[in-house]
Amino acid sequence: MKIRFVTLGCKLNFAESSALGKELLLRGHQRASLQEVPDVCVVNTCSVTDAADHKDRQTINQLHRKFPDAIIIVTGCYAQLQPEQISHLPGVDYVLGQNEKYDIPSLIDEVEKRKGEQAQKDKIRVAAIREIDDFHGVHSADDRTRCFIKVQDGCNYFCTYCTIPYARGKSRNPQIAEVVQDAQIALNQGAKELIITGVNIGDFGRSTGEQFVDLLRAFDNLDGDYRVRISSCEPNLLTDEIIDFVAHSKHFAPHFHIPLQSGSNEVLAIMKRRYTRELFAERVQHIRQGMPHAFIGVDCMVGVRGETETYWEDYLSFVKGLEVSQLHVFTYSERANTQMLEMDLYVVPKAERQRRSKILHEISEEKTTAFYAQHRGRNSIVLWESKREGDQMSGFTDNYIKVYGPYKKEKINTFEEIVL
């Protein structure tokens, strides 16, 4: 059968979709090209915001209108949280939860055997999130040179605004030896950049009694010519030991992604975040001391309940003073069944949320421009990627600066020293 995957949301979703796609190829199915009509559409959803839910529904409706005869399977976070709602959308044949996601290849085999008969029995296959103990490891390359290695799933933090623990379950991980084996396979298959990914990767080891820093050490001792990036890591889990290790490692890129969410300690407390802004500033300073050229991306949320004008001004002042490279700005949206909705807090008007978001986006642009300017004339190593843009090709330096050069096929997936 011809299968089309549509993946929304985080890199972890993309890694899982890619792994499922590979399994389907091994079973004799095909990926439908953009020009082909698929027999099955698999939608791997995101539910981090209300806007994400809307995009999920919009995507499902568009697929059904375009391919009315295709079987539509919906999985991912939105499917886990709102299976009944999704099951009533036109065209949806199956709704599979996070654990059942990995049954998709078998389900498609089953559908093929029935020759298109759409049995509505077991249309919704979603286990209660508290029952999920399994860890499904995946490693998957994108269409460039990177391979995402899933090292952890789930979250035990239960921040007051967030649904992820309800969508992904409790924090869990495999043994270091298993992850390292996957990483080495990826390198043997030609990957040049490994990205350590998960829901809360700094919590690695909770299931096995191991330490995240020991996982990083193992990644630094693989065989091959490669580099490694760490995806988003909570500031309370990004220890000085980890930062110092990255600074002196053989293969790790000077690139950090750290969620701040708010620059007001009062709002951080409302959110039930596990750090203060002072700790966050210490982490940034420690990175800058050991790796002055490091790229530091920061997640910032605006407009949460309780973010008064005073707290917002405090937040804004703090962010302006941070020596970081980019802000990833998210506008708060109310999520059902979260603790924040039960709290008696000031509600930021939606227009004001948008205004604050715009301000942070402008600050982000200024910080990124300044970061790029600091590196002009500096020697750096770029990893060239396969995407062609006219007569140009692009790649990223170790500290995540995107560069362009004349397209040369032989350079794809190779490292080259250049002057920025």
**Which one-letter amino acid corresponds to residue 174?**
P
> What is the reported pLDDT for 142?
53
Contact 257, 299 (CB under 8 A): yes
CA angle 332, 333, 338 (to 5 degrees): 105
Give the pairing type, strands 379-389 and 415-419.
antiparallel
Burial class (CB in 10 A: 0-12, 13-18, 19+), 218: middle
> What is the reported pLDDT for 411?
96
Query: Please, what are the averages of pLDDT over each run of 10 residues along the chain (420 residues)?
Result: 94 89 92 92 93 95 96 95 95 93 92 67 79 72 75 95 93 95 92 95 95 98 97 97 98 98 98 98 98 98 98 98 97 94 96 98 98 96 92 96 95 96
Strand order across the beta sheet in which 2-7 lies:
30-31, 2-7, 40-45, 71-76, 92-96, 124-125
Q: What are phi and psi of 260, to 5 degrees?
A: -95, -50
Contact 61, 82 (CB under 8 A): no
> What is the reported pLDDT for 118?
54
Beta-carbon contacts of 168 under 8 Å, excluding residues fewer than 6 positions away, are: 77, 80, 98, 129, 153, 154, 155, 199
Give the pairing type, strands 295-302 and 255-261.
parallel
pTM of the model: 0.91
> What is the reported pLDDT for 119?
52
Contact 400, 255 (CB under 8 A): yes
